[in-house]
Chains A and B, each alone.
Chain A
Amino acid sequence: MNEPALTINNLTKTYASGTVALQGVSLTIPAGDFFALLGPNGAGKTTIIGIVTGLVNKTSGDIKVFGDDITTSPEKAKTHIGLVGQEVNFNPFEKPFDIIVNQAGYYGIPRSIAIPRAEKLLKDLGLHEKRDQRAMTLSGGMKRRLMIARALVHEPKFLILDEPTAGVDVELRRSMWEYLKGLTAKGVTILLTTHYLEEAEQLCKHVAIINKGSIVASGTMAEILAMHDDNDPKDGAYRAGKLEEVFIKLTQN
């Protein structure tokens, strides 16, 4: 039987300030899935991603990535993951080509293998002409694509995208969707967080909605959309997409 890409069991996180970010989150993402983790700002999405990728310490709970426990086998679990974080976090003085090749190096991939991979990713993501310019000179959309290229250079089985299309124009966003669909077609599991709910609706097979550190709904996209009440909103106010209305219903106080 295939191991799930991600298994989270009863995960809690309380920051040193006393803020309770996660309250017993449990979640399973099947291998090969395109999974949306949705929630309002501060709901705990980025904390979950931080813990899974080793950037944030958990308070309690268990996490396995393709069966490898992040506590007992952190190095092994990390080889499965590629992360596109919410904030741009590369050295702005470095060149895109070097950023990608160095990232491969941290995963133990020698330059002889990393260089052709970097060249291909730069071409695939429309960055090849900028390969030798300083990263600080790239546009916002190019920086996002560079982060995707960097996350893919070690050919991860599990790609985590934390609001990858924030601040990206419609045309570029749609081309990124196509690129991501292509990755799932090749078997890469994707975890996506986004505030563009139509994006999640278009792309994802499964969805979980988190609010105030707890999962309030989880299931297939069809199951979540079925929670929609056709009579909402009852006062005849503005009608959003189905997922958006379900989201608002589940996350409002």
Chain B
Amino acid sequence: MARTAQENLKKYSLNSRKINMPLKSTWTSFYTILRKDVVRIFRIWPQTFLPSIVTSVLYFLVFGTIIGSQLGDFNGVSYIHFIIPGLVLLAVVTNAFTNTASTFFQAKFFSRNIDEILVSPTPPWVIIGGFVAGGMVRGILVGLLVLTVSVFFALPPLMHPFVILLFLILSSMIFALAGLVNGIYAKSFDGITIIPTFVLTPLIYLGGVFYSVASLPAIFKGFTLVNPIFYLVNGFRYGFLGFSDVSLSLSISVLLALTAILIAINWYLLRTGLGLKQ
């Protein structure tokens, strides 16, 4: 006979604040949040998949083919090969960020159906995991689609596939986490449009997608070094082309630290209800 939620808890509970929900139930909660988001992502595919593909085609055409053909090689590769990793990453980070920010904010602000999760025993770290996994799925899928499109313009080399995979996961996770912070904390619709426009876009364009940091004056180089996108782009570019402006270990260290900070901020916001509860 089917057990109730209380019976599940009675059987598995460790009477601890940290582990009140049995692992199987926790997995079901996580899977429910993720499944719901993935179904939504595919249901509205013209909004979730198409825009980045169209934008990427334009970037490849204008910057890669038309302007790129008039530029010399970058570290021994053509300009279009140089910008492909950055453009794939651009699609990954914007989609991962937008997905969590807009999904959470809409559930909180418009239909208020975030209460469905908040009244349930789903702990904050599972809520974070479910929403971030949804953002990662969208970010990675769109990234792979853009990578597929890039093949029609220039076949990108894949020097270190595992590094590519690692940075694909890290970039989607970091920006899904950042989007979640934005979605939880935003108090109005402006709150989730301002950050992508005035923070995310400048970070992307000044993060070395279209240029090498070696070609910058010292002052701009300093700004670039505090931009997390720079470490993502360089690690990702290393995976494709085998060279980078900074060491791989430094990039990974910076990104792991950023991941930890963003997880902590999300956990704090959900645990205290800051931006969510009165």
Task: Answer whether A89 and B113 are a contact pair too, CB < 8 Å, given A107-B25, A108-B28.
Answer: yes
Do the beta carbons of B17 and A81 come within 8 Å of each other?
A: no
Q: How far is the CB of A132 from chain B (nearest CB, A)?
A: 14
CB A89 to nearest CB in B, in angstroms, measures 4
Q: In terms of DSSP, what is the predominant structure of the interface of chain A? A: loop
Q: Does B215 contact A (CB under 8 A)?
A: no
Q: Are A113 and B2 in contact (CB under 8 A)?
A: yes
Q: Report if B57 contacts A (CB, 8 A).
A: no
Q: Which residue of B lies closest to A71 (CB)?
A: B17
A108 adjacent to B123 (CB under 8 Å): no
On whether the beta carbons of A106 and B120 are closer than 8 Å, the reply is yes
Tell me whether A205 is interfacial, beta carbon within 8 Å: no
Size bracket of the B interface: 35 or more
Most B-side CB within 10 Å, residue of A15, A103, A108: A108
Q: Given A89-B112, A154-B5, is A83 in contact with B29 using a C-beta cutoff of 8 Å? A: no
On whether the beta carbons of A90 and B113 are closer than 8 Å, the reply is: yes
For this complex, into which size category does the number of interface residues on chain A fall?
35 or more
Shortest distance in angstroms between A198's beta carbon and chain B's nearest beta carbon?
29
A16 and B9 form a contact (CB under 8 A): no
Q: Does A223 contact B (CB under 8 A)?
A: no
Q: Which of B1-49 contact A (CB under 8 A)?
A: 2-6, 8-9, 13, 15, 17, 20-22, 24-26, 28-29, 31-33, 35-36
- The answer to whether B277 touches A53, judged by C-beta atoms less than 8 angstroms apart, is no
Complex: A81 Cα to B119 Cα, angstroms? 8
Task: Decide if A178 is an interface residue (CB 8 Å cutoff).
Answer: no
- Of B25, B32, B273, the residue contacting A57 (CB under 8 A) is B273
Q: Is the CB of B62 closer than 8 A to any CB of chain A? A: no
User: What CA separation (Å) do A76 and B33 show in the bound complex?
Assistant: 20
Q: Is there an interface contact between B121 and A108, defined as CB atoms closer than 8 Å?
A: yes
How close is B234's CB to chain A, nearest CB, in angstroms? Answer: 40
Which of A103, A117, A150: most chain B CB closer than 10 A? A103
Beta-carbon contact of B120 and A103 below 8 Å: yes
A55 within 8 A of partner (CB): yes
Question: Which residues on the B side are within 8 Å of A56 (C-beta)?
Answer: 277-278
Q: How far apart are A102's CB and chain B's nearest CB, in angstroms?
A: 6
Decide if B112 touches A80 in the complex (CB within 8 Å).
no
Residue among A75, A90, A157 making CB contact with B116, cutoff 8 Å: A90
The B-contacting residues of A in range 52-81, CB under 8 angstroms, are: 53-57, 72-76, 78-81
Interface residues of B in 86-119 (CB under 8 A from A): 107, 111-113, 115-119
Query: Do A83 and B119 touch (CB < 8 A)?
Result: yes
Give 19 CB contacts A-B under 8 Å: A50-B278, A55-B115, A55-B119, A57-B273, A74-B20, A74-B121, A75-B123, A90-B111, A91-B113, A102-B116, A105-B35, A106-B120, A106-B122, A107-B25, A108-B5, A108-B22, A108-B121, A113-B3, A117-B2
- On B, residues with C-beta under 8 Å from A are 2-6, 8-9, 13, 15, 17, 20-22, 24-26, 28-29, 31-33, 35-36, 107, 111-113, 115-123, 272-273, 277-278
